[in-house]
Amino acid sequence: MGVRLVVVDDHRLHAEALASALKLRGHRVLAAAAPVAGAAELVVSRAPEVCLLGTAAPDGPGVFDPVARIKRERPQVAVVVLGPVPSPRGIAAAFAAGASGYVRHDERIEGVERALVKARAGEAAVAPQLLQGAFAELLHPSEQPDDEGQRLLRLLTRREVEVLVRVAEGEDTRLIARGMGIAPSTARTHVQRVLMKLEVGSRLEAAALAARTGLLDRAVPRARGAS
């Protein structure tokens, strides 16, 4: 028997693609929508058995607030989170909010389907190794929630920190060079080193990572101390 569900994701195309794939496998998709912030309203109005909630940032603040609201207003609805490989804190946050499962976003559709069926049956739909890390974090939470930002910050020199701050403020290479009193070629080199150390492919990704991990909040005072 197919699962009656709603699919929400911050990217509408992702939600619709998942919905189409699950419909082809015999499940009843009541709605496919974006963004995740509207998941609770959709679940309350449609009353599915399961909500499949896709997120690209399981460690972000407030990401699982809709899950908590769903469990308050429709406690019988199981929520399965679909996202990247998270830190233990990210998956712990999902379960603390009331999620019944967590599935990696690179999982095959058969794996997603199994998770939906298990969640509907009241079982935990999550890989054992992810669940173990989540329980460890719930029992012994990190003292410093922004330790990832701290770790990333230690990878950068003072110059690179200043470059990152300027990138996050939207400055291009020319403005970075002028503001730091260096040649554009030197500024470009600094930017490339920042991207490489943070393991991101663009300035936009670097700025988003810095904001999400708290790196930017720490970087600003450090950058000012360098000037």
Is the whole-model pTM more than 0.75?
no
Q: State yes or no: pLDDT of 145 exceeds 50.
A: no
Q: Mean pLDDT, the chain, as a whole number? A: 85
Q: State yes or no: pLDDT of 150 exceeds 90.
A: no
Bridge partners of 79, per DSSP, are 51
Lowest mean pLDDT among 45-49, 115-119, 187-191, 210-214: 210-214
Reported as a single tens digit per residue, the pLDDT across 154-176 is 888 988 989 998 888 888 999 99
Reported as a single tens digit per residue, the pLDDT across 94-113 is 888 899 999 988 889 999 99
SS (H, E, C) the chain: CCCEEEEEECCHHHHHHHHHHHHHCCCEEEEEECCHHHHHHHHHHHCCCEEEEECCCCCCCCCCHHHHHHHHHCCCCEEEEEECCCCHHHHHHHHHHCCCEEEECCCCHHHHHHHHHHHHCCCCEECHHHHHHHHHHHHCCCCCCCHHHHHHHHCCCHHHHHHHHHHHCCCCHHHHHHHHCCCHHHHHHHHHHHHHHHCCCCHHHHHHHHHHHCHHHHHHHHHHHHC
Lowest mean pLDDT among 86-100, 116-130, 142-156: 142-156
Q: State yes or no: pLDDT of 153 exceeds 90.
A: no
Reported as a single tens digit per residue, the pLDDT across 60-107 is 778 899 999 999 999 999 999 998 876 677 777 888 889 999 998 888
Q: State yes or no: pLDDT of 207 exceeds 60.
A: yes
